[in-house]
């Protein structure tokens, strides 16, 4: 019953979000186009429920260049508009389409790129047993992840050894205790943090 209610909520919430926020979508798209050109949407392969790969959508916030799949504060690849979008998590808005499609949920563990999924220990593989989400416990705790990574000389190594294990632990706490009320609490807590 929980899964059914959650999916209905995801469809309704994502559809309403896309409709109500469509003017903001247009404004952001125009700003990216004017200041940094195409493409407007950034696409990346992430790992979803059951270990199935899917394409995640975001507003592009970085110049097109090779580098790490994670970013730290002050990363020279991030555009001027990108800094603003990332600060308020507006670059994540196109993921409402991922939610509507069923790749993601509003609440659930954030989906990882394949290169970091291979570092999941066996006792944390259950993270892949649920739909990934826009927000979760780890998103709240590591809302300033880029600032944390900026403190380390090697962000890639810091992510694997310091941040990822803690994220997975929080993900497992969510999975073991998830229910609709918990989901609503996480959504409200996320909105409150973003407004702050």
pLDDT tens by residue, 48-103: 999 999 999 999 998 875 566 677 777 788 898 999 999 889 999 999 999 999 99
Which whole-number Å values give the CA distances from 85 to 60, 78, 137, in the listed order? 9, 10, 21
Closest CA to 162 of 88, 72, 83, 67: 72
- The rounded radius of gyration (Å) of the Cα atoms in the chain is 16
- What mean pLDDT value characterizes the chain? 92
* Residue whose structure tokens are 């997975």: 168
pTM assigned to the model: 0.90
pLDDT of residue 95: 98
Backbone φ and ψ of 142, nearest 5°? -110, 40
Contact by Cβ (8 Å): 13, 98: no
Specify the 3-state DSSP secondary structure of 143.
coil
Q: Taking a C-beta distance cutoff of 8 angstroms, is the pair 58, 94 a contact?
A: yes
Average pLDDT on 132-156 reads 91
């Amino acid at each position: 019953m929980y899964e059914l209610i959650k999916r209905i909520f995801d469809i309704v919430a994502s559809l309403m979000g896309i409709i109500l926020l469509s003017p903001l979508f247009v404004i952001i798209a125009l700003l990216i186009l004017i200041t940094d050109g195409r493409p407007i949407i950034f696409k990346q392969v992430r790992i979803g429920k059951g270990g199935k790969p899917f394409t995640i959508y975001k507003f592009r916030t970085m110049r097109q260049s090779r580098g790490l799949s994670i970013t730290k504060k002050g990363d020279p690849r991030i555009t001027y508009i990108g800094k603003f979008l990332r600060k308020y998590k507006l670059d994540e808005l196109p993921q409402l389409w991922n939610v509507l499609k069923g790749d993601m949920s509003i609440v659930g563990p954030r989906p990882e790129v394949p290169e970091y999924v291979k570092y999941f220990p066996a006792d944390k593989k259950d993270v892949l047993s649920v739909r990934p989400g826009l927000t979760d416990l780890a998103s709240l705790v590591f809302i300033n992840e880029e600032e944390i990574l900026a403190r380390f000389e090697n962000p890639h190594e810091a992510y694997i050894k310091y941040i990822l294990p803690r994220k997975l632990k929080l993900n497992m706490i969510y999975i073991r205790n998830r229910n609709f009320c918990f989901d609503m609490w996480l959504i409200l807590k996320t909105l409150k943090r973003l407004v702050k």
